[in-house]
Structure 1
Amino acid sequence: MSHDDSMYPEVEPIRAGLAGRCPRCGRGPLFKGLLSLAPECSECGLDYSFIDAGDGPAVFVILFAGIIVTGLALWVEVTWSPPVWVHAILWLPVTLLLCLPMLRMLKGVLITLQYSNRAGQGRLDHDRKD
């Protein structure tokens, strides 16, 4: 991960991540599809091969969307007691509409934070003497 940031203005990681923009220049797209990452920034040429958001975005989406959908589903069940098929028709689209945009935004935020904090793979210090 090259950090030659002297030629680029400072980018706010949260804003760039939510917008799906490059963590270095803040202009180029981070994604080439809905959730697929671009190989590099089309504006500044930053190689995105260092990026590894892992399962972090999915965990946050499951927690946030799960709380919202479960709370609303329980409220609907207690208030009107509809049949199960009504719940399926109602909550499956709501879950998709909540999860997909939220997953893209959180993935972008975690990637830009990873870049701005120079986070890398953990290493053990084998040369340390106690």
Structure 2
Amino acid sequence: MTQSYKQTPLQDREMKNAMLRGFKRICPNCGEGDMFDSYLHVADRCPACAEDLSQHRADDGPAYLTILIVGHLLAPLMIWVFTEFRPSAMTMAILFSVSTVALSLYLLPRLKGVVVGIQWSKGMHGFGQPG
């Protein structure tokens, strides 16, 4: 049983829903199909509703947002851990290196989905054109 979806008119696109769906890595139009073919490659079309997602231009935005968020979360935590527990330098290096990589790998595709969702909701880069 396949449902047919139409392209959502530009004036009816809610940015909050599109951003949330992007964070979940699903299509901003229907909320069902996967937005990504692989880890960071956005699918050309949604497998569920056939929405054209190839128009996106996320570029470096998701990477900058990832650095901003990871830095703002882990820098105060690093200072707190050091002042409270005084672990060795090797323990700090291992703990925060692993944390930084893990959090970055988790956030990067989700923030790319958010950026694509914003572009879709605002009709940027051809997302608002019919067909």
Give the structure-1-normalised TM-score. 0.77
Query: Which one of 43, 48, 54 corresponds to residue 43 of structure 1?
Result: 48
Alignment of 1:101-116 (within 5 A): 101-116=106-121
Contact persistence 2:33–2:46 (CA under 8 A): yes
Instruction: State the shift of 1:112 in Å.
Output: 1.0
Query: Which one of 10, 23, 31 corresponds to residue 28 of structure 2?
Result: 23
Q: Which residue of 2 aligns with 1:5?
A: 8
Higher alpha-carbon Rg: 1
Give percent identity, aligned residues only: 32
The 2-side partners of 1:44 and 1:4 are apart by 8
User: Per the alignment, in what secondary structure is the counterpart of residue 86 of structure 1?
Assistant: helix
Q: Which residue of 2 aligns with 1:72?
A: 77
The 2-side partners of 1:64 and 1:88 are apart by 19
Q: Which residue of 2 aligns with 1:87?
A: 92
Q: Which amino acid aligns with 2:54?
A: S
User: Per the alignment, in what secondary structure is the counterpart of residue 120 of structure 1?
Assistant: helix
Instruction: State the shift of 1:46 in Å.
Output: 2.0
1:99 aligns with 2:100: no
Q: Structure 2: 5+ residue runs without aligned partners?
A: 1-5, 127-131
Instruction: State the shift of 1:106 in Å.
Output: 1.3
Number of residues of Structure 1 aligned to a counterpart in Structure 2:
117
The 1-side partners of 2:53 and 2:81 are apart by 44
Q: Which residue of 2 aligns with 1:125?
A: none
Q: Which amino acid aligns with 2:8?
A: D
Query: Which one of 42, 60, 63 corresponds to residue 58 of structure 1?
Result: 63
The 2-side partners of 1:35 and 1:49 are apart by 13
Instruction: State the shift of 1:10 in Å.
Output: 5.9
